[in-house]
Structure 1
Amino acid sequence: MTAGGERKGGRGTGRGRVTVVAKSTAVGVKPVRAGKTHPLSAPDHAMGRHTLHLVYYYRPSPALDRDRLLESLSEVLSYYPAMTGRLTWQHHDPQDETAGAGSGAWVVKCNDAGVRMVDARADATLEEWLRTASDEEEMELAYWEPMGPEPYVWSPYYIQITEFKEKGYGVGVSCTHMHGDPTCVAVFLKAWSDAHRRAVLAHHPFFQPTAFLSPFAALASLFWLRIASASSSSSPAAAAAAVEGEAALTLGVDFRKRMSAPLPMGYYGNAVFFSRARADLSRGWAHAAAELDRHVAELDEGRDVWAHAQWLRARPRDAPFQMYGPELTCVALDHVPAYAAEFEAGVGPAHAAFRIGGAEGEGLIVVAPSPPEAGDAARTVTLTLPSELTAQICRDDHILRYGPAIMFAPPKI
């Protein structure tokens, strides 16, 4: 379990055990066709207030070398022209009735400008880091700079390669959520590792404007109940509301494979569908888990997914709102191929972290895959909660009885 206090975003500071040694730019080995663009969809625009931060940890290996990593990165970036491009605001033609709501929309100009690279060193071995690092320190492995007043010079992607003592590595990717969802970024990392091993790309990117597993339902409902209990213990109003009837949890579901004509796994863009599940938490864990499974099973492509997409399309593209929150939100990412990102054949990451920026409010629960050696039912749960609530959850007896390994918790826990 990864615990995180409420955050406002920002960048790796390099003030602790991580030192930034150099910054550079990585571009693809093949130039992009002149004039190529990638318009962002309505679901992409809806994510404008959020960011993504993925960190993969790799133990020492002869196959891992910074120069080789940069070489294979340039190779795979040739397949991802939108990643190396720059955002530009395209004003709508008032006569174009198909353009959607608002004054315009974001379009990526695929101009080979490249992604920003950060070379860093950590004053710890990988094993020491995994045992002792705090939440804030982990974020120093995923450098990020928000968009400034000149978006055409801003890189929507930052990739940080951090070398630990004894040659372990951290590979951090930070990007705007408008470019894609966590699955999209995880598929890119898998493609990078394929290129590094000179293997065929398992999922080619697909540029064009799923059911939950029961381990997800079990974990989502467990943390839903415990967070609700911890919140109500400090708020009489919340306690009264919890007893009166049904509670609600916002779920984020990847709908790539839930369509009647499924999207390819390599689909580049946002494919997260948000909906509200409800359960009477006073009836216990099993009831809440069953309600989550039932809710997801009953999601309908036409009634729910397409209606949601049309609603997003009708909104102005220049006014993104908060998708993750402000109510308690749980996102299922345990289907993503995080541990298939093998830069050396047969050796995946020692740990993979999935974090979402801009998720302020009641809190965010992310259920992601765990290393294969942990077992098929194991999952990694990342919490972004107000600091006091994080401390309570990390000490919660109902959660601790299952023996979770707590990582990157606030120092006082």
Structure 2
Amino acid sequence: MEEAKNSSRVKVHSILSVVSSNPIQPGKVHKLSLLDQSMGLHTLHIVFYYNSNPFNDGPMPSDIDNLRASLSHLLDKYPIATGRLTRGGPEGHWQVKCNDAGVRMLEASVSATLDEWLRSADVLEERGLTAWEDMPHDPSFWSPFRIQINNFKCGGLAIGLSCTHMHADITSATLLMKSWTQVHCNLPLTHSPIFHLPQPPTPSLKNSTPSFSPSKMGTATMKFSHSVIHKRLSLVQNHCPNATPFDVLVALLWSRIALWQEPEPDKNHNRSLSICVDSRNHGRPPIPYSYFGNALHFSVLSMDGDKLIRGGLGQVCEYVHQHIEGLKRDDFCLEVEGEGPFRVYGPRLTFINTEHMVDVENGEGVMYDAVFDKGEKPVHVSYHVGNVVGEGLIMVLPSSEGGLGRTVTVTLPEEQIANLCKDQAILDLEPIMLISGKK
């Protein structure tokens, strides 16, 4: 795991613990699944940006007491967030001892306006908005969930959420934040968390993760507009009439990155990548959308290297789409490659699909439903996975614009990030560059 240091523009003023409003039943233990265990080397860091402070008028500090109170009530429903990691069982697997130890909440100020920050901050600075400390050898007093309230000098606000990937995946962490806003506004929860499945699927673990040489990684975040994605989808209609924004962006980025990748194709001249899709609402029985934990499915997609680079966007898009549709027709079990914990993201180029988080009617992402007082929606939500190495990770996420707009966060070796940011095929899509820079 990595430890991100606060930039000089981010100053933490207070640190406190928030516990659930009702005592947790003594002796309660939550056993992490095999898939949860495999995520032990990774962390999640999410930042919700708001143009104006939804709790106060003007550029004043947040009403931390009200936030603390609503978070305390939320934690009644999330006992594993307030607990502490411990080893248990004959094999010594990680589990959560549910107690009233609480989560850490920090308050900080940022000596920049929100617009200045989004234009100039790099990924290391942004990690300063999400408090984190690496897990110590003895985690019995260590908080696996941390929340940081960041006040910009323009009156804007950013709420940073960090947690271990063993506890939650992107969907779970996002729904936790949305649930907090609903508790804060005295609204019923849209998705009350479920921690146990009636018939939990048994993951099939197979060690086929490629070897890699550590290299310096860089990150860039690009916003692609609804109109640009709509145009690209129309261009691939003949090959793939039901293509999604994820399909077309994977096809574009994969084919461009293949031009610069150091690893040679295999003996069959194939290039491969890993696709991560969410298993919720799939499988037998279906995994509920409100399941809190890791519900991910990783699969490997291989394609002839020449066809990938020279076959055209439509052909590659069709190949990606058919692969994902084929997964949906199969028994969609929770599956990972390897024995954990290990680096799930990055040894092989990995794309994360979040199309399941998009409302099919208006195209808005569930993360933009995180609305506190005054109806203020986030203007941007940033996602990062800690400890990504190797060939890299690309997350295709809903954009604040809604519709077909997508935000793409790319983590690649530094030289490839430089190539990507000046690649004409990418620039033709007129992306808006946001948080970027070295990891």
Instruction: Settle same-fold status: TM greater than 0.5.
Output: yes
Contact kept, 8 Å, 1:322 with 1:359, in 2: the verdict is yes
CA distance in 2 between counterparts of 1:259 and 1:142 reads: 34
Partner in structure 1 of residue 300 of structure 2: 276
Partner in structure 1 of residue 247 of structure 2: 217
Equivalent positions of 1:38-49 (< 5 A) are 38-49=30-41
Structure 2 vs 1, CA of residues 345 and 215 (structure 1 numbering), >3 Å: closer, same or farther? farther
1:285 and 2:313 aligned: yes
Equivalent positions of 1:166-205 (< 5 A) are 166-205=154-193
CA distance in 1 between counterparts of 2:243 and 2:175 reads: 20
TM-score, length-scaled by structure 1: 0.86
Contact kept, 8 Å, 1:24 with 1:116, in 2: the verdict is yes
1:291 Cα shift? 1.1
CA distance in 2 between counterparts of 1:221 and 1:9 reads: 30
Helix, strand or coil: the match of 1:298?
Answer: helix
Contact kept, 8 Å, 1:86 with 1:109, in 2: the verdict is yes
Equivalent positions of 1:13-412 (< 5 A) are 13-63=5-55, 65-67=62-64, 68-92=66-90, 103-208=91-196, 214-231=244-261, 235=262, 238=264, 241=265, 245-280=269-304, 281=308, 282-299=310-327, 305=333, 308=335, 315=339, 319-336=340-357, 337-344=366-373, 346-371=375-400, 374-410=401-437
Q: Deviations 1:155-182 (Å, cap 9, x if unpaired)? A: 1111111111132111011111000101
Contact kept, 8 Å, 1:259 with 1:301, in 2: the verdict is no
Q: Which amino acid aligns with 1:256?
A: R
Q: Which amino acid aligns with 1:27?
A: V
Partner in structure 2 of residue 4 of structure 1: none
1:243 Cα shift? 11
Q: Deviations 1:69-123 (Å, cap 9, x if unpaired)? A: 222111111110000000110131xxxxxxxxxx221110111100111211100
Helix, strand or coil: the match of 2:178?
Answer: helix
Identity %: 40
| Pairwise CA RMSD | 2.1
CA distance in 1 between counterparts of 2:280 and 2:399 reads: 21
Q: Which amino acid aligns with 1:52?
A: L
Contact kept, 8 Å, 1:330 with 1:366, in 2: the verdict is yes
Q: Which amino acid aligns with 2:274?
A: T
1:285 Cα shift? 1.8
Q: Which amino acid aligns with 2:413?
A: P
1:358 Cα shift? 1.4
Helix, strand or coil: the match of 1:224?
Answer: helix
* Consecutive unaligned residues in structure 2, runs of 5 or more: 57-61, 198-241, 358-365
TM-score, length-scaled by structure 2: 0.81
Helix, strand or coil: the match of 1:382?
Answer: strand
* Consecutive unaligned residues in structure 1, runs of 5 or more: 1-7, 93-102
1:368 Cα shift? 1.0
Q: Which amino acid aligns with 1:329?
A: T
Contact kept, 8 Å, 1:156 with 1:176, in 2: the verdict is yes
1:303 Cα shift? 5.3
Contact kept, 8 Å, 1:334 with 1:379, in 2: the verdict is no
Q: Which amino acid aligns with 2:112?
A: A
Q: Deviations 1:380-413 (Å, cap 9, x if unpaired)? A: 10011111111110111101111110111228xx
Contact kept, 8 Å, 1:278 with 1:291, in 2: the verdict is no
Q: Which amino acid aligns with 1:51?
A: T
1:207 Cα shift? 0.8
Contact kept, 8 Å, 1:120 with 1:160, in 2: the verdict is yes
1:246 Cα shift? 2.8
Q: Which amino acid aligns with 1:370?
A: S
Contact kept, 8 Å, 1:332 with 1:366, in 2: the verdict is yes
Q: Deviations 1:226-272 (Å, cap 9, x if unpaired)? A: 111133xxx5x64xx39963311100010011224322221111001
Contact kept, 8 Å, 2:243 with 2:318, in 1: the verdict is no
1:218 Cα shift? 0.8
Structure 2 vs 1, CA of residues 62 and 144 (structure 1 numbering), >3 Å: closer, same or farther? closer
